[in-house]
Amino acid sequence: MIKRRTILGAGAMLATAAATAPRAQAQQLGVGGPQPLGERTDTPGEVYPPGTLAPRGRFGRYERLPTLELESRQNFLRSFRRYVNLSLSRSAAERANEVLRENDLPTDKPIPEAQAIELLMDEPLMQMASRAWLSAQEQTWGGLKQHYEGEMDRYLAEMEAVEDYGPVLELNPDLDIPDYARHEIHIMPGGYIGNPIAGYMYHYGTNGFYMGRNDNDEVQIRAAQRLPVPADGKVLRILDLGTSVGQFAMALKDRFPNAEVWGLDVSGPLVRYGHLLASERGIDVNFVQRLAEDTKFPDNHFDLVTSYILHHEVDPEATRKIFEEAYRITRPGGVFYPVDFPQVDAQERTAHRMYRYYMDHRWNCEPWTPLWQRCNPQQLLRQAGFSLNTEGPVVLPGYDVLNATKPV
């Protein structure tokens, strides 16, 4: 019998029916939506997989950070981030308009991006807002890195304890990692690939990006509920591309409990941690380490294929290949819906927004975001063969509507 930690090609990649091992009576946390914050779920009688850790308990889906000191630090930093992203940024935007008026430039029409950056780069308020935002990012990662790398053996053992527990976990250590993934995305130490405890870092670090609005995967759960389904209503197989630690994949399993759900990512550390999360929560999601542009799944296999904020993290050529692969594995009548940042319309390109995009690209290790914003995914989806509806539904408010269907 093949161990859950398999090498791609060993025969486990399509073992969808035989992949479920006997499981303990794990509490199905979050099915139907998260528990209210403050309601403890680590009550007597609940059974979690042997070897997993929850030293300070859970609130709904959310497993509290291991120490009060670390939790307090992260809570402060996300509150500070909220202040920077809302209040301070609003003041910076007002100052940007003042600068435009001082230079006899319009505030209601776009100006060249290079000109906007040059005008605002040395403005003290712009510099303060940028430095405060970047410092919050650096401090967030620094605190997590200190704890999780300091206790690395403990957390590696926790993931090891559940490798044969639940559905498929396929790791592919010999995978040829594309260049686009070999950097420290979001300046996360070690990136998604080079740090064996990247899953813990990613989960709690990106949780802070939501500034308190996503402790129990509320954003992914709402997005999963809004996702369109094929016209015939058949949803038996689902694939989430670039799944990271599986938050969207698990939300999809909540909505479609009878479907076979797969989460795929290039990062072994992320899918390994995602498998741990799903095992703790009692949610049957299969995790595989593969390329989104070469999934190894059969033609016409999935009723629903998704991705959640993936494409601004890959280069445009990879996006084109991923769209083509999504078309191949989606069955006729099936739906592919990639959720990602909106394309920047010319009327929305304010000087302040262009300056912030530049700072994010330059200092937050987001090399592909500007190219994603200009690559015309609508055209790429149609070239891949999909019929595209850009009117709705809106899966994630404020993000692009890319509701693609494979023609019957």
What is the chain's pLDDT, residue by residue, as a tens digit (408 residues)? 233 444 333 333 333 333 333 233 233 323 333 333 333 445 455 567 888 888 898 888 899 999 999 999 999 999 999 999 999 999 999 999 999 999 999 998 889 999 999 999 999 999 999 999 999 999 999 999 999 999 999 999 999 999 998 899 999 999 999 999 998 999 999 999 999 999 999 999 999 999 989 999 999 999 999 999 999 999 999 999 999 999 999 999 999 999 999 999 999 999 999 999 999 999 999 999 999 999 999 999 999 999 999 999 999 999 999 999 999 999 999 999 999 988 866 447 899 999 998 999 999 999 888 888 888 999 999 999 999 999 999 999 989 899 999 999
- Beta-bridged to residue 241, according to DSSP, are 264, 307
Q: Do the strands 62-63 and 169-170 form a parallel or antiparallel pair, or are they unpaired? A: unpaired
Secondary structure tally for the chain: helices H, strands E? 13, 10
**Is there a contact between 107 and 97 (Cβ–Cβ < 8 Å)?**
yes
Domain positions in the chain: 1-21+167-174+216-340+376-408, 72-163+190-215+350-365
Q: Give the number of other CB atoms < 10 A from CB of residue 46.
A: 14
**Is there a contact between 367 and 316 (Cβ–Cβ < 8 Å)?**
no
pLDDT score, position 369: 87
pLDDT score, position 398: 87
The Cα–Cα gap between 265 and 273 comes to 12
Cis peptide bond upstream of 393, omega within 30: yes
**Is there a contact between 241 and 307 (Cβ–Cβ < 8 Å)?**
yes
Assigned CATH class of 1-21+167-174+216-340+376-408 = alpha beta
Helix (H) or strand (E) holding 207: helix 198-209
pLDDT score, position 13: 35
pLDDT score, position 16: 34
Based on C-alpha coordinates, what's the Rg of the chain?
22
Q: Which residue from 350, 303, 298, 402 is spatially nearest to 119, judged by alpha carbons?
A: 350
pLDDT score, position 54: 87
pLDDT score, position 124: 96
Predicted TM-score of the model (pTM) = 0.87
Only one residue has tokens 């997993």, namely: 52
Q: Which amino acid is at 105?
A: L
Please state the φ and ψ torsions of residue 36, each to the nearest 5 degrees.
-60, 145
pLDDT score, position 45: 54
**Is there a contact between 311 and 342 (Cβ–Cβ < 8 Å)?**
no
